[in-house]
Chain A
Amino acid sequence: MSETREPITGIEVPINLQFKFTAGKALTRFLTSIREGRIVGQRCPGCNNVYVPPRGMCAACGIPTEEEVSVSDEGVIESFTVVHIPIPGNPIKPPFVAANILLDGTDMACLHRVSEVDNAKVHVGMRVKARWKPREEWDYTFENIAWFRPVEGS
């Protein structure tokens, strides 16, 4: 074959698969509660740690967690980062703060946004409280909380 061809450097293979996500029993209870504006965690009968969101088990002790605990929507920033690079498909415009927030009465931080504050003033140990979306927008999602905001005076 005398004809010269451009080397093939890639091909496109479109893939479209659909999955039904299974939240699991514990997370289902969490999602059902947060739809009503309540945050529910679970306490480990072994180490007494309270986990939000609950997973139905304590990964440290390897035992099931059954006891449900209502948890405050207020807590403390355990660590945070200021996101400057936009995330594809994410409607939130940078720069914004993503923080690990330890809700009062819990032992494992959960990830959420912090807003209504100058990003430069966010600090570890800052007390924050949930800013809930309007009730009519609530669904089975942690996004019912729009973000966390600083507690006055902290």
Chain B
Amino acid sequence: MREAAIIGYTQSAQRRYAGAANESELIMPVVREVMQSVGVSQKDIDFTCSGSCDYFQGAAFAFVEGLNAVATAPPIRESHVEMDAAWALYECLLKIWSGEADLCLVYGFSKSSPGELRSVLTLQLDPYYQVPLWPDAISLAALQARAMLDAGIISERDMAEVVARSRRAALANPKAQLSGESSVEELLAQPGFVSPLRRHDCAPITDGASALLVASAETARRLCARPAWIRGIDHRMETGMLGARDLTRSPSARYAGARAGVSAGAVDVAELHAPFSHQEIILRRELGLADGVSINPSGGALAGNVMMAAGLDRFGHVATRIMQGEAGRGVAHATSGACLQQNLVAVLEA
């Protein structure tokens, strides 16, 4: 298999409401910035792939508008996944591995502000048995947290510790939407939201966009002093029937992590796509991450969660640390669906 590496990454400021800017206007600056950061232009890109979901805009084929933000003349080779852009990155890897591309542009974007996100997300459930009941995304996550508490796997204090650490780490991330110093006691004193979740246990609603460049070995070495090599990557999913799952566990994340080779060496940093505090604890367990691993130094999804870009952001943040020489080996994880239904895990190395 051909080698591939991430060589550039840019993220927009994460904001609750991006105001008058539409999706294309959020994408263009990050696409331009990531290309300038490695000194390439669209004509150097062999393949472009984006991740977004039309349901957030409430308009069919809205993702096509995103292409206004990239130079498409003469015609380019382009694709789109109706998923987090981490899966668009995976599609780019397939192009690189098969020898069809050497340099690929990935971008993910969304504005969640136009609709009611927790209800929009209901539509990703089974349409016959689950959607008619309208369980919203936060209630489903709350069911999962409740199952973990009842099983004695976590305590509410454990959840608050995840939040406190994430918000503190986000102080060093100028793009983060939520950051700050707060004690576990202060967090536990906050009122319930959807029991047992408090508001801070849930990722915020965020507008934004991210762009990333991934390249084959020769191209990566030519354009980047210290590429972040993708040594292993795997994605797995669990049944869409929530009642058939043990929500306290994530066998798909465990399996993907094993296949990606997480345990083959020491991990310096892990960026885990956990939109709810208790889900980070599930992922740490399933991926077998030791206590010393730096988890979500960007602040993670709890500090800013652009739907369809937040998974790609995990890759971008791990890669950036490797490219800047701050880490040697890292794990990037992206999720999709309700209660960690789908999981994509990769190992990145200097």
> B154 at the A/B interface (Cβ < 8 Å)?
no
Query: Which chain B residues (63-109) contact chain A, with CB distance < 8 Å?
Result: 67-73
Contact of A17 among B42, B69, B111, B120 (CB under 8 A): B120
Contact of A24 among B22, B58, B59, B114 (CB under 8 A): B22
Interface on chain A toward B: helix, strand, loop, or mixed SS? loop
In this complex, the interface size class of chain A, counting residues with CB under 8 Å from chain B, is 20 to 34
| Known contacts A11-B128, A15-B123, A27-B22: A61-B114 contact under CB 8 Å | no
Residue ID in chain B nearest A56 by CB atoms: B25
> A92 at the A/B interface (Cβ < 8 Å)?
no
- Residues of chain A lying within 8 A (CB to CB) of residue B30: none
> A57 at the A/B interface (Cβ < 8 Å)?
yes
- Residues of chain A lying within 8 A (CB to CB) of residue B42: 62
- Residues of chain A lying within 8 A (CB to CB) of residue B70: 59, 62
Contact of A59 among B23, B31, B68 (CB under 8 A): B68
> A37 at the A/B interface (Cβ < 8 Å)?
no
- Residues of chain A lying within 8 A (CB to CB) of residue B115: 17-20
Bound Cα distance from A56 to B23, whole angstroms: 11
A13 touches B132 (CB 8 A): yes
Bound Cα distance from A18 to B119, whole angstroms: 10
B25 touches A62 (CB 8 A): no
The smallest C-beta distance from B323 to any residue of chain A, in angstroms, reads 24
| Known contacts A17-B119, A18-B115: A60-B73 contact under CB 8 Å | yes
- Residues of chain A lying within 8 A (CB to CB) of residue B116: 17-18
A62 touches B71 (CB 8 A): yes
Bound Cα distance from A61 to B67, whole angstroms: 11
- Residues of chain B lying within 8 A (CB to CB) of residue A11: 128, 132
Chain A 34-71, CB-CB to B under 8 Å as 1, else 0, gives 00000000000000000000011101111110000000
- Residues of chain B lying within 8 A (CB to CB) of residue A17: 58, 115-116, 119-120
Residue ID in chain A nearest B18 by CB atoms: A22
Residue ID in chain B nearest A21 by CB atoms: B114
> A5 at the A/B interface (Cβ < 8 Å)?
no
| Known contacts A24-B20, A62-B72: A19-B128 contact under CB 8 Å | no
Bound Cα distance from A57 to B32, whole angstroms: 12
B132 touches A61 (CB 8 A): no
B24 touches A57 (CB 8 A): yes
The smallest C-beta distance from B112 to any residue of chain A, in angstroms, reads 11
A62 touches B69 (CB 8 A): yes
A61 touches B24 (CB 8 A): no
B58 touches A13 (CB 8 A): no
> A28 at the A/B interface (Cβ < 8 Å)?
yes
> B40 at the A/B interface (Cβ < 8 Å)?
no
> B325 at the A/B interface (Cβ < 8 Å)?
no
> A23 at the A/B interface (Cβ < 8 Å)?
yes
B119 touches A57 (CB 8 A): no
Residue ID in chain A nearest B69 by CB atoms: A57
Bound Cα distance from A56 to B21, whole angstroms: 10
- Residues of chain A lying within 8 A (CB to CB) of residue B274: none
A19 touches B58 (CB 8 A): yes
The smallest C-beta distance from A63 to any residue of chain B, in angstroms, reads 7
Bound Cα distance from A57 to B114, whole angstroms: 22
Residue ID in chain A nearest B132 by CB atoms: A13
> A84 at the A/B interface (Cβ < 8 Å)?
no
The smallest C-beta distance from A88 to any residue of chain B, in angstroms, reads 15
The smallest C-beta distance from A25 to any residue of chain B, in angstroms, reads 5
A25 touches B131 (CB 8 A): no
B72 touches A19 (CB 8 A): no
- Residues of chain A lying within 8 A (CB to CB) of residue B50: none
The smallest C-beta distance from B248 to any residue of chain A, in angstroms, reads 30
Chain B 152-164, CB-CB to A under 8 Å as 1, else 0, gives 0000000000000
A61 touches B20 (CB 8 A): no
> B57 at the A/B interface (Cβ < 8 Å)?
yes
Known: A11-B128, A22-B114, A23-B22. 7 other contacts (CB 8 A): A22-B21, A25-B21, A25-B25, A57-B25, A59-B71, A59-B73, A62-B69
Chain B residues at the A interface, C-beta cutoff of 8 Å: 18, 20-25, 28, 31-32, 42, 57-59, 67-73, 111, 113-116, 119-120, 123, 127-128, 131-132
Q: Can you report 9 residue pairs joining A to B where beta carbons are below 8 Å apart?
A: A11-B132, A20-B115, A22-B20, A24-B24, A24-B25, A55-B68, A57-B69, A59-B73, A62-B42
